[in-house]
Amino acid sequence: MDGKVAVITGGASGIGEGTVRRFVEEGARVVISDLHEGRGHALAEELGSSSATFVKTDVSSEEDVKNAVHAAVQRFGRLDTLFNNAGFGGVGGPIDETDMDGYDRTMDVLLKAPIMGMKHAAPIMKQQRSGSIVSTASVAGIRTTAGPHVYSAAKAAVIHLTKSVAVELAAWNIRVNCVCPGAITTRIFAQGLELTDSQADQTLKTLPLVFQNSQPLKMAGMPEDIANGVLWLSSDAARFITGHALVIDGGITLHQGGLIGAQQPAAAPADPDAARQAFLQVLGVTPE
């Protein structure tokens, strides 16, 4: 990746942060695109101004997405990789209780944002006649019981969007792929649980113990596992790969167990607070 330039959304934490760090290690210059100014600025400062810059971005805003993409050209002179990664668990619950405002917000972040990222990266990459676009999908877009209904539908759409856009942009030597993470140790599992920062940090310590028994490979998935896949898809080593959904899941799609955070069968606790408390107990989160 030496000399290449990337925009990574959701780049201040989790999979995004892990990918920012791997890209910089491999010689890339990165625009860290995220809503969280404190973490984003701190990461950019740590990595150095010659390697990284932070742009505050709400990926549900087209103007913000456009600004983040164009910041790469303005700051570093080109754009070689766009990693559409920002996301969250989104609206949950049984289908007959789906909150439609929550649905709109979920789809804005998980599907509209990657579309807008592709929209604004494509003209730059077409002019260069080269580029790589990678988006974060999920195993929830491939199988059931791996995420909430709307989240899963959005991730399935990202996978098909990847294939569709890959066909269009191939004429300009622009490759379009996505990654499908399994159970990865990030803060996304703490979202929606109304946790304090210290409790959220606590989940990052306990999640690996939970996840190491969630798939055939008895180890916890970490952000760097996804970062390595994104790095490969973005590099010249993957020059003949496009329209591909790279599953990085420790084999979790190979068996029938459900995932934490998934839409559970009707036998699951009907009381949302009881379900939340049970989840926190599994994570070992102590009250504050």
Count the helices and strands in the chain (H runs, E runs).
9, 7
Q: Where are the domains of the chain?
A: 5-283
Quick: pLDDT tens for 201-232: 676 677 777 777 778 898 889 999 999 999 99
Q: Which comes out higher in pLDDT, residue 216 or 173?
A: 173
Q: Give the catalytic positions in this structure.
A: 151
For the stretch 89-104, pLDDT in tens is: 999 999 999 999 999 9
The answer to which of 18-32, 123-137, 210-224 has the lowest mean pLDDT is 210-224
On the CB side of 23, how many CA atoms lie within 13 Å of its CA? 32
Architecture of domain 5-283: 3-Layer(aba) Sandwich (3.40)
| Residue 264: pLDDT band with limits 50, 70, 90 | very low
Amino acid 1: pLDDT: 94
Burial 199-238 (b: 16+ CB within 10 A, else e): beebbeeebeebbbebbeeeebbbbbbbbbbbbebbbeeb
Q: CA of 241: how far to CAs of 15, 69, 167, 233, 278, in Å?
A: 22, 23, 12, 7, 42
Q: Global pTM? A: 0.89
